[in-house]
Amino acid sequence: MSDCRSIEMQDRLPDFASGTLPAAERSRVAAHLATCAACADDLALLRAVRALRPSAPVVDEAAIVRRLVQSPVVGMAPRATDGALPGRMPDAAPVPRLRVVVGGATAPSMRAGTRRRLSSWRIAAAIGVLAVGGMSAVIARSGGLGLREAAEGGVAALRDTGSATVVALAPAVGDSQGASAGGATLPHPGAAVSYGDLGDYSAEELALMLERLERWDGAAAEDPLPGVPLLPTSTTAPGGGELE
Amino acid sequence: MTDAEPDDDAALDASLISRWREGDERAATTLVARHAAAVARFVQRLGVRDEVDDVVQDTFVRAFGALDGFRADAALRTWLFTIARRLVIDRQRSRARQGAAVEVQEQDVATEYDALDVLMADETSRRIHEALGRLSRMQREVFLLRVQDGRSYRDIAEILGSTEGAARVHYHNAMRAVKEYLHE
């Protein structure tokens, strides 16, 4: 038994055995094999090892796709802050489940009067609701940060940019599947939201959020927050009228 | 998928990922079809028997949930293998904890080589199987990733959390050990 002196050729043999070398490279290795008994023996061994490759166990690919499509965390990846490299495995800890609530019932405050309704819709257009687990975070978007950016950046990103303030937290209204106050869950990868643990907010921050929300609609602190729908920034109010 | 066609495979995967993120569910179907079997085979080779399907599912769910951390110029399959391997190790650690309070280090986690599911058609095949079983865990993983899965040394290093140079050394040492055993 002797080894070929060419490490380069030895390194090429597995790819030659699998038939994946480019044509020019394949020709070069084939020419070498014709003159090197050691590499020819090695190639035979590699082919025998490949022949031992067990057949892939049966995998229910449809079930995988269903789970990907239905999973509320799909597309809602935690943002890597250091330019994550491939192979950098996501944290083993489960990602908090997020739901972006789209559409839905009109909040009670939006039903009273045209002017007030239009004003409320304007406020609603600036508010995104993130349902996180059993809580809803109501985010006021005061700057130019779009809802998509908000969805993609998450509450933490909004806080960090200073372009919005998380103003309230409230138990999500609706069932655990994502519907909230009649709203529809949008399992859209493009509406991905990455977000941290709500427990990161201090008691003072939470109190400030509730206080600001109360100033907006006059609701008392003990009143449950309405399921404010997440609306696109449209100039057309529901019903066809134009916003002021 | 090997380094022979990195541009084509990486570009196609990147395109599919992009389409998925834009809402195209068919892109997910294609991505799963492209990689699920290979991931399953890899998971099985790590010693998983009855839960291969579960591990493969978890791998894809975790991968799709962390696409922000994936670089488009990297091999998606390598990334999937990396995730799958960590999931298998986590499962084994969990089971080890259930049996003992001793913390299990990654290098200590056994990955049994038990490919006797494969029908030993002849004496040579049986001898090769024995030779592979005598390799160290790292040598065997490197060797099989290189020979059976066609992964490059760079991909292997990424999957196993090693270096390209170490992967190359492990491969050549494994090759030498297998040849020595077969010539005994």
Could you report the per-residue pLDDT of A188-198, keeping only the tens digit for each? 444 443 444 55
Closest CA in chain A for residue B31: A65
pLDDT at A173 over 90: no
Q: Which comes out higher in pLDDT, residue B68 or A203?
A: B68
- The identity of residue B49, as a single letter, is R
The beta-carbon neighbor of A56 closest among B37, B63, B179 is: B37
Q: Is 0.90 surpassed by the pTM of this model?
A: no
Candidates A62, A71, A141, A147; CA nearest to A102 is: A147
Alpha carbon distance, N-terminus to C-terminus of chain B = 34
CA distance A188 to B22: 8
Contacts for B141-145: CB closer than 8 Å, 24+ residues apart: B141/B46, B141/B111, B142/B167, B142/B170, B142/B171, B142/B174, B143/A49, B143/B170, B143/B171, B143/B174, B143/B175, B143/B178, B144/A49, B144/B45, B145/B42, B145/B81
Q: Which comes out higher in pLDDT, residue B118 or A55?
A: A55
**8 Å CB contact between B13 and B76:** yes
B70 min Cα distance to partner chain A (Å): 5
The number of CA neighbours under 13 Å toward the Cβ of B138 is: 15
The residue-averaged pLDDT of A144-162 equals: 45
Q: Is B75 in CB contact (< 8 Å) with chain A?
A: yes
Residue to test with chain A: of B29, B64, B182, most A Cβ within 10 A = B64
A207 min Cα distance to partner chain B (Å): 32
The residue-averaged pLDDT of A115-144 equals: 44
Which portions of chain B are predicted below pLDDT 50? 1-4, 101-112, 114-118
What is residue A84's three-state secondary structure? coil
Closest CA in chain A for residue B72: A86
pLDDT at A101 over 90: no
Whole-angstrom CA distances from A221 to A107, A119, B1 are: 16, 22, 59
pLDDT value for B164: 95
Contact criterion met (CB < 8 Å) for B65 and A11: no
Tokens at A25, concatenated? 């490279």
The beta-carbon neighbor of A74 closest among B64, B78, B125 is: B64
The beta-carbon neighbor of A59 closest among B21, B56, B125 is: B56
Pairs of CB atoms within 8 A across A/B: 181
CA distance A172 to A108: 16
pLDDT value for A201: 67
CA distance B30 to B23: 14
Contact criterion met (CB < 8 Å) for A69 and B52: no
Contact criterion met (CB < 8 Å) for B65 and A74: yes
The number of CA neighbours under 13 Å toward the Cβ of B183 is: 11
CA distance A135 to A169: 7
Closest CA in chain B for residue A95: B65
B98 min Cα distance to partner chain A (Å): 18
The residue-averaged pLDDT of A136-152 equals: 44
Candidates B163, B1, B184, B137; CA nearest to B77 is: B1
The beta-carbon neighbor of A75 closest among B21, B41, B143 is: B21
CA distance B128 to A45: 8
- Quickly count: other Cβ atoms within 10 Å of residue B155's Cβ: 28
* DSSP H or E run through A171: strand A164-171
CA distance A117 to A133: 30
HEC profile of B28-54: HHHHHHHHHHHHHHHHHHCCCCCCHHH
Candidates A45, A42, A35, A44; CA nearest to A2 is: A42
Closest CA in chain B for residue A81: B69
Contacts of B74 in chain A (CB under 8 A): 85-87
- At a CB cut-off of 8 Å and minimum separation 6, what does A165 contact? A139, A140, A142, A158, A159, A209, A212
A120 min Cα distance to partner chain B (Å): 31
The beta-carbon neighbor of A69 closest among B25, B39, B62 is: B25
Tokens at A53, concatenated? 């490759």
pLDDT value for A216: 54
The beta-carbon neighbor of B183 closest among A1, A14, A53 is: A1
Q: Which of residues 113-172 of B touch A (CB under 8 A)?
A: 115, 117-118, 124-125, 128-129, 132, 143-144, 146-148, 150, 153, 158-159, 168, 172
- The identity of residue A221, as a single letter, is A
pLDDT value for B92: 85
CA distance B73 to B5: 12
The number of CA neighbours under 13 Å toward the Cβ of A141 is: 24
* Torsions phi, psi for A130 (to 5 deg): -110, 120
The residue-averaged pLDDT of A117-131 equals: 45
* DSSP H or E run through A168: strand A164-171
Tokens at A95, concatenated? 């990602």
What is residue A189's three-state secondary structure? helix
**8 Å CB contact between A16 and A29:** yes
Q: Which comes out higher in pLDDT, residue B69 or A40?
A: A40
Candidates A136, A140, A113; CA nearest to A126 is: A140
